[in-house]
Amino acid sequence: MSQPLLMPKATAVWLVDNTALSFDQIAAFCTLHPLEVQGIADGDVASGIMGVNPIQNGQLTKEEIEKAEADPNYRLKLSDPKVRVAAVKRKGPRYTPISRRNERPNAIKWLVRNHPELKDAQIMRLVGTTKSTIESVRENTHWNAANLTAMDPVTLGLCSQIELDLEVKRASKDAGGPIELAEGTTLLTAEEALARAAARQQESYGEDGFEGEERKSPQNEEFDADSVFAKLKSLKSDTDE
């Protein structure tokens, strides 16, 4: 069978009540003992179980049942699923083979030294360790601290390079650091971009809002009234003489 049968006893109840299949055929399809199927037919077994139609859930076809009813030696075949169910995501710390477990403190020491931005939960996912072990390695209180050597967890086979890079990127993103580009440059934050734009505008325009050349033109200069009257008075005295 390509996949496990859903609710085998409930399916057996339905097949007993709605088909002419033999006990051996139902037992083989539902992975039950023939005597157990006979007990279902007699009402001694699974008396409180409601039958489930395998045709409706896509695990059998009507043609397959008819073919088995015509030949007592034929064994029912489970239909291929029409929908592929995604694999269940792993929860909890990563499983580490026994041969690699002694290397986990070395990997933790390497991660703490080279990627201090990683959180304990991320290190736990990468090397399959516990928070207490991480703290003991970080604080140098591990029982074997004197013999620990920082080693790359990728080299030790505890995680892949893709997994390590992904966790490092997540840690950098959570820390709010600048986003690194492939060329080695960095993107400015919004505050830095606005500050630079204001500085460029300050260089192009004066404090009064006019451009440098326009602000210096004679037409826009303010005249001093005292100096003007002084010049007029000196001219008048010259004409009287």
pLDDT digits (tens, 9 = 90+) for 155-164: 888 888 888 8
Same domain (yes/no): 112, 58: no
Same domain (yes/no): 25, 64: yes
Same domain (yes/no): 58, 117: no
pLDDT of residue 181: 41
pLDDT of residue 136: 92
Put simply, whether the predicted model's pTM sits higher than 0.75 gets the answer no
The mean of the pLDDT values for the chain is: 76
pLDDT tens sequence across 90-126: 555 555 566 566 888 999 999 999 999 999 999 998 8
Q: Rounded to whole angstroms, what are the CA distances from 163 to 105, 127, 175, 217?
A: 18, 11, 19, 65
Same domain (yes/no): 106, 66: no
Side chain identity at residue 163, one-letter code: E
Residue 224 lies in a domain: no
Q: Which of 175, 190, 207 lies at the terminal end of a domain, its last residue?
A: 175
Residue 90 lies in a domain: no
DSSP state, residue 212: H
Same domain (yes/no): 110, 167: yes
Q: Which domain holds residue 112?
A: 98-175
pLDDT tens sequence across 49-62: 888 899 888 889 99
Tell me how far apart the alpha carbons of residues 129 and 142 are, in angstroms, rounded to a whole number.
Answer: 13
Residue 13 lies in a domain: yes
Cβ proximity of 79 and 60 under 8 Å: yes
Average pLDDT of the residues in 2-15: 83
Q: How many domains does the chain have?
A: 2
First to last CA, the chain: 129
Cβ proximity of 55 and 18 under 8 Å: no
pLDDT of residue 233: 66
Same domain (yes/no): 50, 107: no
Same domain (yes/no): 59, 116: no
Residue 132 lies in a domain: yes
pLDDT of residue 7: 85
Tell me how far apart the alpha carbons of residues 233 and 96 are, in angstroms, rounded to a whole number.
Answer: 101
Same domain (yes/no): 108, 171: yes
